[in-house]
Amino acid sequence: MIKTRSEKEADRLRREKELEELNEKRRKFFNVVAATEEGKDVFSYLAEILGFHRPSVMMNPQTGEVNKETTVYWEARRSVYLDIRKYISDSNLKTIEFK
Percent of the chain whose pLDDT exceeds 90: 87
- Give the residues across from 59 on adjacent strands: 66
Confidence of residue 21 (pLDDT cuts 50, 70, 90): very high
The residue range of the domain holding 85 is 5-97
- What total number of domains does the chain contain? 1
Q: What is the pLDDT of residue 24?
A: 97
Q: Give dist(CA 66, CA 53) in Å, integer.
A: 19
The pTM (predicted TM-score) of the whole model is 0.80
- 64: alpha, beta or left? (left if phi > 0; alpha if psi -120 to 50): left
- pLDDT band at residue 82 under the 50/70/90 scheme: very high
Express each pLDDT in 35-71 by its tens digit: 999 999 999 999 999 999 998 898 888 898 999 999 9
User: What is the per-residue pLDDT for 33?
Assistant: 97
**Terminal-residue alpha carbon distance, the chain:** 55
